Each structure stands twice: as structure tokens, then as C-alpha cells.
Amino acid sequence: MNVLAAAYRWLDDNGPAFGAPGLEPRWTSSRKDAVSTAYAASSRVWFTISHGTLNEIYYPTIDRPQIRDMELLFTDGETFFHEEKRDFEYDFHYVDPKALAVRVVANDLQGRYTVAKEFISDPHHPVVLMNVKISGEEAVLSRLKCYALLAPHLDGGGAGNSARSIEIAGQRAILAWKNNTSLAMGVDCGFTRTSCGYVGASDGFQDLASDMKMDWQFGQALNGNIAVMGEIDVSMHREFTIALALGDGHHAALAGMMQTLATPYDLHSKRFVAQWLRANSPESLAPASTDGGRLMRISHNVILTHEDKTYSGAFIASASIPWGASKGDDDLGGYHLVWTRDMVQSATAILACGRTDTALRALVYLACTQRPDGSFAQNFWIDGTPYWTGIQLDEVAFPIILSWRLWKVGGLGSFDVFPFVERAAAFLVRYAPVTQQERWEENSGYSPSTLAAVIAGLICAADMARGHQAFELASFLESYADWIESHLDEWTTTREGVLHPDIKYHYMRIRPPAVGEPFHNDSIAPGYIHIANRAPDEKYDFEAREVIDAGFLELVRYGIRRADDPLIIDSLKVVDHCLKIETPYGVCWRRYNHDGYGQRKDGGPYEGWGQGRAWPILTGERAHYELAAGNDISSYITALERFSSIGGMMPEQIWDYADLPSEGMYLGRSAGSAQPLVWAHSEYIKLLRSTVDGQVFDRISAVAERYAVSASERTFSSRIEFFQTGRPITNIPGGLTLRILDPKPFRVVWTMDDWASTIHTDSHVVGYPGSYADIATTPDQTGSIVFTLYWQAEDRWLGKNIAIEVG
């Protein structure tokens, strides 16, 4: 049980609590959402602020949450006990509009005193600073005590933490630790008293809540779920600065804390803001916004914030944990991980801001995490250690696309990116078109959004190969991309749609693999997909034609399909019929119908199941399509700006049903998932750049010039069918060439006359993608091609014959 849960338990017994089940909230705000922002150091730490209090803190060398809750408590010892989360009204703003220095001004509900707090970090040490100024009625302040309450979750969990009250350089402070990570908490004026306790039993909240006085001064609490507290005498110190320092060992944390507190807060603050001002927000994008550029500046800084400060170039998905208050120690994988999908979105948005050097750092980092086979882990810690292990083909394609973008603007410097690109392209050739997971990380099969990225990635790789004089490789990669593109509508659509009364032919979310294809799920019926995250009493398996998302819009984004393609237009009608949500702040869309990843229907947190909610990022994706279609998109830009929190944080999901005040859920406002989602901020930045440019920034010229043209304007035709042992085919039309592909050189032994005659054809090596052998057919040919394979270097035969019908 964490501090917040303990507080709920006590208040359930003794009085109303904000967020306690079935009780009315006491905390109020100027807007219908939590006053919150994610916010990071210019140097060494990230952290988040929620309800005006310090929440998770991340120490980059470990990249796991170090603090789950830190707040201030106030009491006069006799008549009141205030917890800032519940008993204050807040005013929130940035100290400077171009810097992530935050000021929160809180007033107690009776208006007797005001607490003004500023949050920054030491630009040179892993130390978070909270400067506090207290003003109000002298009769109150002369008796007021402030208590800093901290619940450390070091090294990724609340269990097994330890803490001790200490004296250092003549001042009382607190030291906490777990494994090799240490945390020091101190204040520039020194704590008058400290205590270390166990959450729910002997922590400082329990102490003060019982009689409004600090009666306990426990010297240490070892190996448990702990909370520590330090007392500050407000009657003597109306302004003070609290420091939270992290380090690899006690000395590092303590020295960092003391060195930081040795410098006056005002000097730290000036340095912090000055460093952010050097980041130079892209003011050229401000005219495209509808809020004067406010969210643009915040988004630009939020993206920069999420680049790790130890592993340069590593962009995490979010400095937040979705539904973190309900997570336990057994779930370490919040969004403070690297996904190549999200990371490339961040790097591309930064490129849209003109920061070529930052995008290059991201690319070099990715090159250092690439596996020998050209792939990437589904996600990984910032040191490159894999976390989840799924194969997502778009996450292999995106780094190729980023490489191409930097190559086209001359942003690669001295980095030879071509071997990196060739290996990634080879992986796509070996595994595409079937992905183990699509971009929502849940299902296998033929995904329109994944295949859009794969086609674009292969064409980018081919363009770069030609630029590096590798003409044969370029032609081969183009032929593979053309083959996928020629089958795209066949693989990813239904002609028997059931979602819209007037539209039968439309894109699906994903077509599952057939029997014999990679990643086929034989536990469900053919043609069905299994949807995770649904409630225990709900249906899990659906026909593929029953499920749609708007991922096919990626085909327009990159230039594989035109915006006026009738299939695109009809599919959008189905999407709007099933997924579109109108809110007071603008229009938004759910990911797909039957989605279970989101706030539960009763407003409770997602805990393995729930109800998928509307994602602001999808408003940005729709806006990009509308721009490509030549339509006005200002309303979409406004919607994104209004979906953000009072601190300008873009949520992953918004509540998309009627207001539910008892759970803090309001239509169009942030739900309990990640906030901010850096991908959403990146989409917004790119949308502004697209508006300024008058065309989609993500559009890839080499792709659009090849595919987004009329049939008469195409300069090629796809006349090849690919066969791989991992994804066999059973027939080809006459007149096409059968291309047999394998990672290793081989000989194909084949016949067209039932072995009356036998032909031996050696494969041709084409670099990392492997080797291939072609067997041509004529337009009027019928019958079968029968073949087997022999790998000379291994003296190994396939061990069976393969028959492919022609006609």
C-alpha cells in the first residue's frame, strides 16, 4: 500500500477524501482536469507534477521511477491539518513561457495562507528543487508547521526500501536507499525534526492525522514500503528550498544535495531558465497554431525533455506510468522505455523544428541498439536492454525512414548509415508482409498501418542504396515493396463489411495470418482476431471484418495512396461511423472498435481490462489526412490544444463519455492513461509544420512519386511473386515471375513437366537480404511449378517438394 492508498484508508474511516470510492472530491481546480505537467531537468533527472505535488521522479542512469509521491502537509498543531492534494485551490503557470520551470500557487480553502512553489532541477546534478514561499495571516503563520512527506520507490518498486535520519554538515536530513541507488532529502534551512516509518503503520501522515502533531521521530525504517518526513518551522522560515538528490551510492546523493543547496535558489532558477531559452522554440510554427504558439513551445520542450541525459539520443515514450497509482512493483514497464516507433516520431518532430543534430543523435542511438539481424526489440530500457520481445515490422521500418530524412537534408554528418539501413531493410524482406504485432502491439497479420511503414521504409532504403551506387540492391528492394503494394488492398480489406449499412468494401484493422503463415493463431477460428484487454465477461474473438481502425491513413501520409482514393474515402466513413467522438473541445477518435485498453466504463483505472477511449493523437492523424485532401484543419489544431492539460500536457487518452465527477472523469479531458504522451506532442508539432509547408511533413517524395499517381503515370509494374519457406504461396498468375528468396545461397531444382525434365538454377546473392532465384512463366501458361531447394554450403536439402499452380 502506498502513501496515497494509506491516506484513502484513513480518510474513508474519518472523513471525505478526493478520489476515495463513492465520496465527493474536496480538491478543486480552475479547470476540469488535474493541474499537471510532466517536466524535466536540463541535465540529469525527469519528474512529473500532479495536483500541484511532486509525483514520479526518474533517474536516467537507471530509468526507473525513484519517487511515487512527495507532498507537503501543513498544521498549526491544534485546529487544522491540511494535505495539499485535497485542501488547496491551485493556480498554475510556467515561470517563463519558453522554459519548463513551473510555479504553483495554492490557497487553503479558507483563504488564511498561501503556498507558492516553484519546481526546477539543478542543471548540473541529479537534484530536483522545490522552492516554497508561504504568506498569509500572521496569526496562522506564527503557529504553522510544514512537513515534507516522501514515499520513495527506488529501483523501480516500493518494497525493500530503507531510510535513516541523518545529520550532515550540521543539518538534519534524510537518506533513503535500495540496492545501489540512494536518495537524499534535505532543505536549505535544515529540518527541525525527521522520522522514517512504514506506510500505513508508522509513517508521518498517520502521525499528523491522528492529533495534528508530530509525535513520532523514528530514526530509521529498513527493508519495507516506507515513507519519510521532515519538519520545517514556518514561523522561522517563510521561504525555503527542498532538495531531492539521487545518486549511485550514499556519497553521490548526499554530495549532490549539499552542493545544490549551497547555491542560492534564485541563481539556480536563472540558470535553469537561461538554459531552456537556448533551446530556441521554433517560432516559425506559431502562426499555424490557434493559441499563439503556447502548446507549440511546450510540445517542443516536452520532446526535448524526454531525451535521456545519460544515454544521449534515447527518447522515451513518456515520463509517466499509465494508471501508475494502481500499479504494483510487479509492473516495471511504464512508458519510461524506448519504443523505436515513438522515438522516431519524436526525432521527426524535432527535425520538423530544424534540430537536425538532435535527430541525428536519435538515429545514432538506434544504430547502437540494432540487432545483428537488422531488427529492434519491441521496446527497451535506455541502456538498450530489451523489455518486451515482440516483432513489430513498423518499428524496423521507421528508423530507415528517419535515416532517409536526414540523408535528404544532409544531416548525417560523418555517420555512415548505409549498413544500418541495409540490415533493417533485409529484416523487412525476410519477415514482411506478416507482422507479429501491429502498431497497437496486440495482433498478428496484415496491417495497413504496418505495411504502409514497410513499403515506405523499403523505398527509402532503395533510394539510399541507389545513392550509394548499389543499383542491384535498390532494384531488388523496390521490387519487394512493389509486390507488397500490389497486394495491399487484397490483404487488408474486406468486401463483406458489416460495420456500415452502405459500405461493404473497406480497410480492416488487421487481417489475421492464414493457416501455414507466420504467427497464425490456431486457437481461434480462421479469419478471427483475438482482442486483449476486454472485461472478463465480454467477447474476445471477432471476425477481422468486424474491427476497423484508421491506420490505413498512414498510406496517405507517406504517399502510397492518394487522399481522394475511393477506398480511403469509404473506409473513413466506416471509421467515423464506429469510432468518432464529439467532445466540447473538439472531435476525437478511438483506436478501434471493441478496444479494451482504457479507463473502465465506471471510470475506474485500467487494470488488465477496460474500455478503449479516444486518443488525441488520432485527431492529429486525421488532420494530416484532411490537409492532404486540401481541407481546412484549423478546428483539429484547436482541438489538440484544448485536449491538453492546464500545463499543456497532451494525454494519451481522453474520457469520451458523460462527466463522471466521482471518478474525476470529464468529457474531453484527460483520462488516467499516460500524460504526456510524447507521440501526441510530436504529432502536433508535425501538424503545425505541415500547415506552414502546405503539405504533409511526413510525406516521402520517393514513395509518393512512385505510388500516389494514376495508373497511366506509373513508371513500373509489379510482375514478381515472392516465395519464402517461412511464408509459402500456392499459386501465381501466368506471366509473372516466381522469385524464390532465402537468407542463404541455395540451388533450386525444379520442373514444369512432372520431372520429365529437371532444371537447376543457382540463386543470386543480393547483399544482406539474402539470395534469390527466378522462374519465369508465360501469360498463357498453366500447370504446376514443382521445386525443391538445396543449400550447397551446408550440403542440406529442403526435404520436400513444393508445388505452385500457374494460371
pLDDT digits (tens, 9 = 90+) for 632-674: 999 999 999 999 999 999 999 999 999 999 999 999 999 999 9
Sign of CA dihedral 500, 504, 510, 516: positive
User: Would you state the pLDDT for residue 60?
Assistant: 60
* pLDDT at 563 > cutoff 50: yes
Are the beta carbons of 512 and 461 closer than 8 angstroms?
no
Cα–Cα dist 272/294, whole Å:
19
Cell of 609: 481490462
Q: What is the mean pLDDT of residues 700-712?
A: 94
Listed residue (496, 6, 429) closest to 206, CA to CA: 6
Pick the closest to residue 185 from 204, 211, 164 (CA basis): 164
326: pLDDT confidence band, cut at 50, 70 and 90?
confident
Pairing relation of β-strands 65-75 and 81-83? antiparallel
Q: What pLDDT score does 37 carry? A: 55
% residues pLDDT > 70 (the chain): 93
Residues 42-96 have pLDDT tens digits of 556 767 777 677 777 766 655 566 666 889 999 999 999 999 888 998 888 999 9
Nearest to 19 by CA among 30, 29, 4: 4
159 secondary structure, DSSP code: T
Residue from 80, 83, 117 nearest 102 by CA: 117
Question: Alpha carbon of 165 to those of 22, 147, 252: distances in Å?
Answer: 38, 15, 17
Q: What is the pLDDT of residue 23?
A: 27
- Which of 315-324, 364-373, 736-745 is predicted least confidently? 315-324
Contact 36, 304 (CB under 8 A): no
Question: Which of 438, 478, 621, 641 is an active site residue?
Answer: 438
**CB of 180 closer than 8 Å to CB of 199:** no
The 10 Å Cβ neighbour count of residue 577 is: 15
Helices of type H across 580-712:
616-628, 634-643, 678-693, 701-707
Average pLDDT for 364-378: 97
Among 642, 476, 629, which residue's Cα sits nearest to residue 566? 629
Dihedral in degrees, nearest 10, Cα atoms 424, 426, 429, 434: -40
CB distance 115 to 105 below 8 Å: yes
Give CA–CA dist 528/525, Å, rounded.
Answer: 6
pLDDT at residue 4, as a whole number = 35
Segment 431-456 mean pLDDT: 98
Mean pLDDT score, 108-136: 94
Give me the mean pLDDT over the 133-140 stretch: 97
pLDDT of residue 36: 52
Q: According to DSSP H, which parts of 644-764 are helical?
A: 678-693, 701-707
pLDDT at position 39, please? Answer: 55
Q: Average pLDDT in the 189-213 region?
A: 95
Q: How far is CA 786 from the centre of its chain?
A: 47
Q: Which of 86-95, 214-223, 281-290, 505-514 comes out lowest in average pLDDT?
A: 86-95
Calculate Rg over the CA atoms of the chain: 29
Q: What is the pLDDT of residue 62?
A: 52
Given a cut of 90, is residue 609 above it in pLDDT?
A: yes
Is the pLDDT at 172 greater than 70? The verdict is: yes
Which entry of 89, 239, 441, 626 is annotated as an active-site residue?
A: 441
Q: Is 441 a catalytic residue?
A: yes
- Please provide residue 165's backbone torsions phi and psi, each rounded to the nearest 5 degrees: -75, 135
Catalytic residue flag (residue 538)? no
pLDDT digits (tens, 9 = 90+) for 707-763: 999 888 888 889 999 999 999 999 999 999 999 999 999 999 999 999 999 999 999
| Structure confidence at residue 31 as a pLDDT band (50, 70, 90) | very low
What is d(CA 807, CA 782) in angstroms, rounded to the nearest whole number? Answer: 5
Which has the closest alpha carbon to 81: 210, 240, 201, 230? 210
Decide: residue 125, CB within 10 A, 0-12 exposed, 13-18 middle, 19+ buried: buried
Contact 592, 549 (CB under 8 A): yes
Q: What is the mean pLDDT of the chain?
A: 92
To which residue does cell 511526413 refer? 698
Is residue 102 scored above 90 in pLDDT? Answer: yes
CA distances from 337 to 60, 289, 313, 383, 385 (A): 11, 30, 13, 10, 10
Evaluate if residue 347 carries a pLDDT over 80.
Answer: yes
Average pLDDT over residues 517-537: 95
- The confidence score (pLDDT) of residue 156 equals 79
What pLDDT, on the 0 to 100 scale, is given for residue 309?
Answer: 83
